[in-house]
Amino acid sequence: MATTATYTVKGMTCGHCVSSVKEEVGEVPGVTGVEVDLQSGLLTVASEQPVEQAAIVAAVEEAGYSVAGAS
């Protein structure tokens, strides 16, 4: 069963930011699709099975940004 999860990314200011986040999150095992909206900061992650939030947060941080509400 495919699932989607949404996160709010903080710190993105341009299309390059969006590309960086998409690339890093897309490399997380199990992720099948990534959509990023620059205006809202909304990150939508599609996967076949639920992916641990920590893995998504780590990927966003690797790209140089942070996830709102993540510890």
71 pLDDT more than 60:
no
Q: What is the pTM of this model?
A: 0.92
- Does the domain made of 3-67 have the CATH classification 2.30.110.10? no
pLDDT tens digits, 20-42: 999 999 999 999 999 999 999 99
Can you give the residue ranges of every domain in the chain? Answer: 3-67
Per-residue b or e along 23-47, where b marks 16 or more CB atoms closer than 10 Å to that residue's CB:
ebbeebeebeebebeeeebebebeb
